[in-house]
């Protein structure tokens, strides 16, 4: 059986959780004996070759490449989005690849930046087709919806309504819609998307060997001491952007630092984004805040192992953040905002705690509780690993193939 996966980015240009999910699926499909290939984008004039699997890289003709979108102003992005929706170059290029490869199944993931005419191209060839949701970009171009701004004029603007109407039509072709969270599926269903498709909730997968390797690392690297005088490490991993709650987190952390003097604790921040310079300035003046910038995904492992608790302080609606799965697989409990699909992954007193998104006092109380109950947090580590173990890629693939 031959399977094609299509995503806007793939290694060596991977940036987020969706790319890691796609890579995990590719690895297991290969290991199970499936013939698999990937279609994705690359910067213009860039030569790239993937030795692990057959990958078709191409630059979809547009104003710029999806990987550089942050560098362009709003007006430029507006025109880019228009050309992206109706990208005929991508339509014919991908249709030709699919005709030559003739796969039995196509699974698309994020199509922003590779072209929204792809579902129509797949349907025209009569190939069985599944689409996987990762965010709200089919309804809001930026993919960002801040809590409290649901009825903001920007999200009700007639161009947004038109954008949604077009995408409802363009994404009416998949036989099955897969969503990692019930929240995201409900979000789209309420807006009238995917009315002809079968819809299922299937959590994002972790590669099985990834989980096993994590166990080896956990055993080989000294875990934190739960003693009263030991250092407690909070950790943030993600985009350094205001809507991700990083500035909100630092504000709360500073309040915590002022209130608690008899416990040694730190905040490790890993990631890159438009607020990086501001974070550098803040961390320079506060020895408790350690900003490491953007790291390669493999470099994160040691930091997970040596951390006590991951914090996901998002102010925007999230789907099912990959960083939560990874943290739990390392036995690191999570403090997470109750927004979007995040709460579906966290079970209070088992693998972490939920706090009200944007509520400083609630997060402050939860962080203080962690500091004063180190032994309890440490004991939650094993339960954290158990809560995520069945989300492995092999189970995921089996369920996909059953469909």
The CATH number of whichever domain residue 179 belongs to comes to: 3.40.50.11930
User: Looking at the structure, do residues 44 and 64 belong to the same domain, yes or no?
Assistant: yes
Residue 102: what pLDDT? Answer: 97
Judged against a pLDDT cut of 70, whether residue 339 lies above it is answered with yes
User: Looking at the structure, do residues 142 and 233 belong to the same domain, yes or no?
Assistant: no
User: Looking at the structure, do residues 180 and 233 belong to the same domain, yes or no?
Assistant: no
Judged against a pLDDT cut of 80, whether residue 217 lies above it is answered with no
User: Looking at the structure, do residues 331 and 384 belong to the same domain, yes or no?
Assistant: yes
Range of the domain at 141: 2-202
User: Looking at the structure, do residues 194 and 215 belong to the same domain, yes or no?
Assistant: no
Is residue 297 situated within a structural domain?
yes
CB–CB of 346/333 below 8 Å? no
User: Looking at the structure, do residues 227 and 345 belong to the same domain, yes or no?
Assistant: yes
- Please give the residue that has the higher pLDDT: either 220 or 38: 38
CB–CB of 30/55 below 8 Å? no
Judged against a pLDDT cut of 50, whether residue 190 lies above it is answered with yes
Total of domains in the chain: 2
User: Taking phi first (over 0 means left), then psi (-120 to 50 degrees means alpha), and beta for anything else, what does residue 17 get?
Assistant: alpha
Q: pTM (2 decimals)?
A: 0.89
User: Looking at the structure, do residues 197 and 252 belong to the same domain, yes or no?
Assistant: no
Measured in whole angstroms, the distance separating CA 48 from the mean position of its chain's CA atoms is 24
Confidence of residue 220 (pLDDT cuts 50, 70, 90): very low
Using CA atoms, how far apart are residues 100 and 102, in angstroms rounded to an integer?
6
User: Looking at the structure, do residues 113 and 68 belong to the same domain, yes or no?
Assistant: yes
User: Looking at the structure, do residues 180 and 87 belong to the same domain, yes or no?
Assistant: yes
Is residue 121 situated within a structural domain?
yes
35-41 and 54-58: which strand pairing? parallel
Average pLDDT of span 141-148: 90
């Amino acid at each position: 059986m031959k399977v094609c996966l299509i995503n806007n980015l793939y290694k060596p240009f991977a940036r987020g959780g969706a790319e890691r999910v796609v890579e995990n699926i590719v690895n297991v499909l290969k290991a199970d004996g499936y013939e698999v290939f990937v279609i994705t984008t690359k910067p213009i004039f860039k030569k790239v070759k993937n030795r692990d699997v057959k990958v078709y890289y191409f630059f979809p003709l547009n104003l710029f490449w999806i990987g550089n979108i942050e560098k362009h102003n709003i007006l430029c992005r507006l025109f880019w989005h228009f050309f992206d929706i109706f990208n005929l170059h991508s339509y014919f290029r991908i249709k030709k690849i699919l005709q030559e490869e003739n796969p039995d199944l196509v699974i698309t993931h994020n199509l922003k930046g590779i072209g929204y005419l792809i579902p129509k191209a797949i349907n025209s060839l009569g190939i069985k087709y599944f689409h996987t949701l990762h965010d709200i970009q089919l309804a809001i171009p930026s993919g960002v919806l801040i809590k409290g701004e649901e009825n903001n004029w920007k999200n009700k603007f007639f161009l947004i309504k038109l954008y949604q109407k077009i995408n409802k039509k363009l994404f009416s072709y998949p036989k099955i819609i897969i969503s990692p969270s019930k929240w995201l599926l409900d979000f789209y269903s309420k807006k009238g998307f995917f009315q002809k498709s079968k819809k299922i909730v299937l959590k994002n997968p972790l590669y099985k060997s990834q989980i096993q390797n994590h166990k080896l690392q956990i055993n080989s690297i000294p875990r934190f001491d739960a003693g009263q005088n030991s250092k407690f490490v909070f950790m943030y991993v993600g985009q350094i952007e205001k809507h991700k709650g990083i500035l909100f987190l630092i504000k709360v952390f500073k309040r915590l630092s002022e209130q608690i003097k008899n416990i040694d604790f730190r905040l490790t921040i890993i990631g890159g984004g438009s607020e990086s310079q501001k974070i550098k300035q803040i961390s320079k003046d506060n020895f408790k805040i350690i900003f490491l910038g953007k790291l390669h995904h493999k470099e994160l492992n040691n930091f997970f192992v040596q951390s006590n608790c991951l914090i996901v302080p998002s102010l925007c609606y999230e789907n099912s953040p990959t960083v939560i799965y990874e943290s739990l697989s390392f036995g690191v409990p999570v403090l997470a905002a109750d927004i979007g699909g995040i709460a579906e992954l966290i079970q209070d007193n088992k693998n972490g705690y939920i706090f009200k998104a944007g509520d400083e006092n609630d997060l402050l109380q939860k962080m203080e509780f962690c500091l004063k109950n180190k032994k309890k947090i440490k004991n939650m580590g094993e339960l954290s690993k158990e809560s995520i173990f069945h989300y492995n890629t092999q189970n995921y693939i089996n369920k996909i193939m059953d469909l």
